Amino acid sequence: MSETQGSQPSNPNTAIRRALLWWFQSPAAAHVSFNFAVDFSASRAYLDRLAQGPGPRVTVQHLLAAAVGRSLREFPLANAQIVRNRIVMRDRVGVAMPVNLLGHAGGKQRELGLALIEDAGGRSLREVAGSGASAVREEREGKGTNPLVKAMVRLAEGLPQPAFFGVMDLFERAREAPGLSGMIHRAAPATTLLSNAGAPFSAVPGMLFRGASLSPPPRLAHAGTVWGCSTVQDEAIVLDGQVCVRPMLPMVLIFDHRLIDGVAAGRLAVRFASILKAPAEEFGHDGGAPPTSTG
């Protein structure tokens, strides 16, 4: 029986399915979610302008990853991780992004990959775009980009289900050992997750995306925040007392209440939105501006 055929998954026993069965055994975490929408008019015009210039192509996903990186850089506690009930600060923002592999060479073995943009808060937008495009391309070519993820896939493919569960449970216990957690983080320095569920779709007339919720299991790596978005959609909003139609980007922010509370999460979301409403001020007219010092 083939692993994956065409653009539809056909095998429920692929590596990613088996890994997720193990990962979601105990989905208990102190995560809270809320949704908001951002006027995407300025960002859309900015991306169109960047497309006319030199350098790596900048997509919506790249812009969002860079905005998440810059935002979390200014809220370092939201970028921390919890290891053995301790808060461990991380000095860089690593943005992990699920990658759809269906219809690509990499989809013959698994339907979902993972791309990682390291130090997304310390790079220019063009650099984020180059790193993100390279990671996605290698995932879709079936090469993989992260040694830990590749090792997990090989275990899931080669071991019986009970043995795979046992090995992953041992890894979880070892991951929290003093010193080892730092080594694992250096090998896979992800601190947050960005998912774009609307990437394959256009806006659907008569349908609006409103929100979602997720309680990330405390396995493999702790994520203090999870960011989700759908496709840009026209909505009626009020500006200066007048109703007008604007292209709105629906967003979901899921945060760990053990790291930050609702006030800080709200400020984090406002900072993220401010970047998208004036991207040239943050990233420069050509997308090459480095981040300013956070003090």
Instruction: Give the orientation angle of helix 147-158 with respect to helix 15-23, to 10 degrees.
Output: 100
Average pLDDT on 30-58 reads 92
- Tell me what pLDDT residue 11 has: 53
Percent of the chain residues topping a pLDDT of 90 = 45
Residue 24 has pLDDT above 50, yes or no: no
Q: Which of 11-15, 117-121, 197-201 has the highest mean pLDDT?
A: 117-121
Average pLDDT on 78-98 reads 88
Q: What does pTM read for this prediction? A: 0.85
Cα three-residue angle 144-15-169, rounded to 5 degrees: 100
Task: Determine the CATH number of domain 30-99+114-139+189-283.
Answer: 3.30.559.10
Domain range annotation of the chain: 30-99+114-139+189-283
When comparing pLDDT for 201 and 217, which is higher?
Answer: 217
Residue 247 has pLDDT above 50, yes or no: yes
CB neighbour list of residue 271: distance below 8 Å, 6 or more residues apart: 71, 74, 75
Average pLDDT on 163-190 reads 85
| Mean of per-residue pLDDT scores for the chain | 84
